Structure 1
Amino acid sequence: MTETKSATEVWITGIGLATSLGEGLDAHWDGLNQHRINVDEKGFAPCVVHPLAPLNFDTQIPKKGDQRQMEAWQRIGTYAAGLALDSAGVKGNKEILGRMDMVIAAGGGERDIAVDSNILSGDAKGNHAPGFLNERLMNDLRPTLFLAQLSNLLAGNIAIVHGVSGTSRTFMGEEAASIDAARIALARIAGGQSDIALIGGSHNGERKDLLVLYEFGDFNLKNKFAPVWARGGSSGFALGSAGAFLVIESKAHAEARGAKPYARLTNVVTDRARRQHRGEVMATLETLWSKLGKIGDTGAIITGATGAEPATSEERTFLAAYPDFAVRSTGTIFGHTMETQFPLGLALAALSLSRGALFPPNDPTGLEVEMSKPPTQIVVVGTGHWRGEGMALVEAIK
C-alpha cells in the first residue's frame, strides 16, 4: 500500500482534455450533460472503439515538423498538455515553465502496420533470402520510428513544444502508471520538493496493433457498444483515444501568482492486489478507501471501470457497499484509455466540483443515479483491467 496525503494544500489549477467528446472544458461539460457518446462499431470491426474528435493540432503544436515526427499518441498528449497550461494561465511563462515538473504516464510507441504486414507476408511466402528481416527493417522504417517506441518521448515533445523544462518522470504500466504519476507529483509538492507540476497521459485507441494485442487476452469489447455496467456476458473494454493533463501546485504558489483553483487534490493511494482469488480486488479497494481520509456519508465516485472481467464485477460489488454515493463511469463515455483513464477521472472530478454539479448518469442499469446536491468531495477510482488499483480524493475549495 502506497499513499500520499498532502500536509501542504495542493490545488488543481489547470485542466486539458482532448477526447472522443471534443476538446476543452466547455465542450466536455456540454457533451456530458447531453449524454453524448462517440463510438465506432465499424471502423475496427469487430472491435468497438471511441475515436478522437477532430482537432486542429496547429493551435497547440504550431510547427508542422514537430507534428510530423510525433506519433498520434504523442500529438494527442502534447495537445492536451498545451490546453492544461492555457487553463492554468502559465502558457508561455518561461520562468514558471522552466521549473515546472512533469510526471507522465505513457505506453510504448506505435507499430508501422504497413511495414509489419509486408514483412509477415514475405515470411509467409517463404521465398525471402537470409537477412531479409534486417534489410527490410533498415530500409523500410523511418529513422525516428525506433526512438518513437520510447515512452518518455511524450515528455520530450511537451518540453520542446511548450517549454516545460523542470524535472521529468515517465511511468509505464498501463492504468497503474497514471495513478502513481499523480501520487508522486502530489508527494513532491507536499514535501516541498516542487511548487508546480504537469501530470497526465495520452492514448491512441485507434490502433490495430493494440487491438490485436488485447485480443490475445480476450479484453476487447466486440460487435456492439454497451455501457460498462450493462456488458454482462459481453465483457471487455472499448479502447478510446484521449489526452488528459492537469496542472497541480501548492496553494501558496497558486495564490502568489493569482491563480484560481478548480479543486483540491487531497490524497492519492495505490496498491496492487494479487488477483489470485475472487474478492482480492474488492478487499484492496476497501483498504484504499479507508486510507483516503475523512469522507462524508454521501458524495460522488468517478470510476475508470474498464468492463473487463473479473475486475469490473468485483469493483461493482465494492461500489454497492456505498449506495449513497453517486457513481459515474468514464469507460462508458470515453472508452478505456489505459494510462489516461485516471487523470481523466481527476480532470472530470475537478471540473464537476468547479461547476458545482456532478454530470448526469449515462447508464441504463440503475447503478448510476442522479445527484441533486452540489458535490464537495469526489473519489476517483482506478482498477486496472489486469493489474493495479488506486484512488484519489478531490475536494471543493470553499
Structure 2
Amino acid sequence: MVHDRDALITGIGIVSSLGCGTDAHWQALNDFRSVLDPTSFAPFAVHPLAALDFDRQIPKRGDQRQMEAWQRIGVFAAGLALEQAGVKGNTDLLSRMGMIVAAGGGERDYAVDSALLSGYPHATNPGLFLNQHLQGELRPTLFLAQLSNLLAGNISIVHGVIGSSRTFMGEEAAGADAVRIACARIAAGQGEIMLVGGSYNAQRADVVLHYEMGGLQRRAPFGPIWERQASGGGLVLGSVGCFLVIEARAHAAIRGAPAWAHIAAICTDRSRRLPGEAAANAKAQFQTMAAHYHPTEAAVISGASGVAAATQEEATFLADLAVPVRATATALGHALEPSFPASLAFAALAVRHAALFPPLEPAERPMTTPLRQALVTSWGHWRGESLALVTAA
C-alpha cells in the first residue's frame, strides 16, 4: 500500500574500490572482478578506494587539506547523493534537510603509537610508562581533529546541509541505526528529506592493527565471503563512502524527484552473541516484515563481515529463506559504519533494474526471474543485528 510518509531513496552517492557513482558500481557488479591491495599491509589485504577527483565535490583545496581521507571520502559521497537527488545547491531544501552520519574516529599519531607499542613490553613499570607518554606526547588538538562529528560539519560547510544533524559511532550498528532513525522521523512527520550515510578509510595502518589485535582479520588466501568460512573466515577491510537521500513519498512527488526504491521496513537490535542469539534477533525482525515479503520476487543483500561465528550463523539463517544471496563485502570489503548504507544502495540499484546482479562467487546462485524486493542484512562483526526490506518504489 502506498503512503505519503513512505521512505524513498531518491539519491545514492557511493565510492569504493569498484569506482565512483551508481553507474560504475552497477557495471562493476555485473562484470565483477575483485579489486584488492595485498601488499601495502601484508599479510593483510584491503580493498582500496578507486582514484577520485575530489575537486568535483570539494572544490576548495583548503577544505580538502583540513580533512583526513575518511572525511574527504564521506563529503565526496554525500555530494554525489545530493547531486543525484537533484537538491545540490538548492539552499531552501538544504536548509531543511536533516543529516545523520555514521562514522568512527580519525587517524592516530603513528609515531606515538609506535613508541608506545615498542616500549611498553620492556617497561619496568608499564602503568607509569603509559601515563608519562600519554600525558606528554598526545596533543589535544590532534584528538579534536579526529572527532567523528567533523564529517557532518564538513558536509554542512561544503554542501550547505544545515538542518538537524546527528552523528553516531558504533561500527556496523551505527550505520543501520542512522537509516532506521531517518526512516522513523520521516514516518512520524518530523522531517521530509534526510541525508544519511557514512565513510570508512581502510587504508590505515592503525585500523589494520586494531582488527588484527582482535584476531579478526583474514590472512591470505583472500577469498570471497562464503568461501572463506571453510578456512576460518575473517575480515578483509574496504574503503567505502556511501550516502543516501531518503525522502517522504509526498515530498518527492511534489518536486518531481524519481525514486530508486522504497525502504518498506527496517529493524535494528543487538545481542550478546551467545550461540543462536543473533539468529533469534534476525528471525524476530523478519517476522515484523513477513507480511510484505514475497519470496518469489526477492533476494538477500547480505552485509556479512566474514568473521567466522557471525557469518556462519547468518548463512544458516539465510539458507532457511531459500532465496538468492549476494554478500556485499566480497565486492567492497567490509567497511564498518557505511556497510549497511552501501548494502541498501546495492539493493536499491537491483530493485530499480528489476534484476539481481550475477553471483559474486560460486556459493551464490543466480536469479533469472525479475527482482521486486531485497532483504538487506547487517550482522556486525561483534554486535548488532539489522534487517531492512527494500521494495520497488
Number of the residue aligned with 2:126: none
Cα distance in 2 for partners of 1:9, 1:98 equals: 22
Amino acid at match of 2:269: D
The aligned amino acid for 1:355 is H
Secondary structure at 1:157 match in 2: helix
Q: 1:227 to 1:6 in 2, by over 3 A?
A: farther
Structure 2 gap ranges (5+)? 124-128
Contact 1:238-1:335 at 8 Å conserved across structures: yes
**Corresponding position of 1:379:** 375
Going from structure 1 to structure 2, the CA distance change for 1:372 and 1:111 (only over 3 Å counts) comes to: same
Whole-angstrom distance in 1 between the partners of 2:232 and 2:320? 25
Runs of 4+ with deviation above 3 angstroms: 118-126, 130-138
Matching residue within 145, 152, 155 for 2:152: 155
Q: Give the whole-Å Cα distance in 1 for the aligned partners of 2:116 and 2:53.
A: 34
SS at match of 2:194: strand
Find the residue that maps to 1:339 and give its secondary structure.
coil
Q: Offset at 1:219?
A: 0.5
| Structure-1 residue corresponding to 2:179 | 182
Instruction: Report what 1:300 is aligned to.
Output: 299
- Kindly indicate whether the alpha-carbon contact (under 8 Å) linking 1:6 and 1:266 is maintained by their aligned counterparts in 2: no
Q: CA deviation at 1:153?
A: 0.8
Distance verdict in 2 for CA 1:234–1:122, change over 3 Å: closer
Tell me which protein shows more helix as a share of its residues.
2
Indicate whether 1:395 and 2:391 are aligned: yes
1:224 Cα offset (Å): 2.0
- The answer as to 2:141 corresponding to 1:108 is no
**Cα pair distance change 1:213/1:256, threshold 3 Å:** same
Q: Hey, what's the Cα distance between the residues in 2 that align with 1:358 and 1:81?
A: 25
After TM superposition, list the pairs within 5 Å mapping 1:135-214 onto structure 2.
Answer: 135-138=136-139, 143=141, 145-214=142-211
Q: Secondary structure at the match of 2:304?
A: coil
Give the structure 2 partner of residue 84 of structure 1.
Answer: 81
CA distance in 1, matches of 2:368, 2:81: 29
- Identity of aligned pairs, percent? 54
Q: Is 2:52 the counterpart of 1:55?
A: yes
Which residue in 2 is equivalent to 1:219? Answer: 216
User: What is the rounded CA distance, in whole Å, between the counterparts of 1:105 and 1:51 in structure 2?
Assistant: 20
Could you list the runs of 5+ residues in structure 1 that have no partner in the other structure? none
Structure 2 equivalent of residue 68 of structure 1: 65
Mapped partners of 1:131, 1:371: distance in 2: 60
Q: Normalising by structure 1, what TM-score?
A: 0.92
Greater CA drift, 185-194 or 350-359: 350-359
Aligned equivalent of 2:16: 19
8 A Cα contact 1:158 1:164, kept in partner: yes
How far apart, CA to CA, are the structure 2 residues paired with 1:174 and 1:132?
A: 28
Please tell me the root mean square deviation across aligned C-alpha atoms, in Å. 2.0
Aligned residues between the structures: 384
**1:150 Cα deviation from its structure 2 partner:** 1.2
Per-residue deviation at 1:332? 0.6
CA shift, 1:213, in A, is 1.1
Separation in 2, partners of 1:63, 1:118: 36
Supply the distance in 2 between the matched residues of 1:319 and 1:49 (Cα, whole angstroms).
26
Do the aligned partners of 1:201 and 1:243 also contact (CA within 8 Å) in 2?
yes
